[in-house]
Each structure stands twice: as C-alpha cells, then as structure tokens.
Amino acid sequence: LFALCILFPATAQAWEGIAVRILDGDTVLVAPYGASHGDISVRLYGIDAPELDQPSGMASREALEGHVRPGDTVKIIPLANDRYSRTVGLLIHGDVILNYEQVRQGYAWVYPQYCKARFCKEWRNAEQTARQAQNGLWGDTSPLPPWEWRHGNASIPNK
C-alpha cells in the first residue's frame, strides 16, 4: 500500500466503507462510512471481468466474493469516475488489492484500453502467468474478452 500512496498522491481521498453486494467480477456496491447518501457502485480499475451471462462470469463474481463478502470493510482508492457515474478505483480488503487478485487468479483481463498506471505492467505479467497455468477463465480453450463479447450483445453497456 505504501507504493500506491507514492504512485497516487490523491490517496488522501481514499475512503472506507462496507461491501454491500458483489455485482460481478469487477464491480462492488459499497456503503461509505459516514456518508449520508446511498451506496456507491465501485468499478475495479484496470480490469475487465466476464459478464455474468458470459462463460466464466459467475465464476469471476464468486472469485471476488471469495475475497470480500457483504459486510466486510473495504478501502477504495478512487482514480476516476466513468460515464455510468461509478467510482473507478482500487478495491482493497485487508492488505490485498482485489483488482490485481482477480487478474492473478485468472478471473479478469487487464483492460488494455484503461489500465495505464505503472503497475499495469505487473498486472499484465500476472495475467500471462494465469494464462500459462490455465487458471480461472484461462481453462477455457478460447475465452472471449468482455469488451469483444459486449459488441455481440448490444444490450449490455460497455464497462
């Protein structure tokens, strides 16, 4: 976490809350501590997990649920807001950065269009290792990246 504080001086804006619901493999609904407004949808920065009705989609959500359950305290390091008004950031539970963990375990792709931080190189290496070990979604013979899958399913918004 210390390295993240150096890379992202805006971590003074980091906040904590309670995980309310795991929506899919890269989105969590969080209730911020002390906030008077509602829950916040947090999109995990730099990764893209399969959609729930896509092959490995449910497994990806279950993998994330294996790290953070509703009621757990999480820390959010916000990096942006997306066009759907979601907070995009790093999701941390304990000392684990769950964005990275989803990639490392093979339940999400590094999202090349959006993962631009220096640490994304490490994340791409972790993705390659998961691919070679056929972990998670890489056990499928030809997994389709969600950004390509969504093009064939126009009713699903781009993440």
What pLDDT sits at residue 6? 44
What pLDDT sits at residue 156? 52
Distance CA 101, CA 59 (A): 14
Residue 97 has a CB neighbour count (10 Å cut-off) of 21
Cβ 147 vs Cβ 111: under 8 Å: yes
Whether 2 shows a pLDDT value over 70: the answer reads no
Would residue 86 show up in a list of annotated catalytic residues for this protein?
yes
Residue bearing the bigger pLDDT, 5 or 75: 75
Would residue 83 show up in a list of annotated catalytic residues for this protein?
no
Q: Is the pTM of this model over 0.75?
A: yes
Q: Mean pLDDT score of the chain, rounded to an integer?
A: 90
- Bridge-based pairing of strands 40-44 and 87-93 is parallel
Instruction: Write out pLDDT tens, residues 66-88.
Output: 999 999 999 999 999 998 889 99
Q: Which of 61, 86, 104, 150 is catalytic?
A: 86
Q: Which of 16, 21, 43, 62 is catalytic?
A: 43
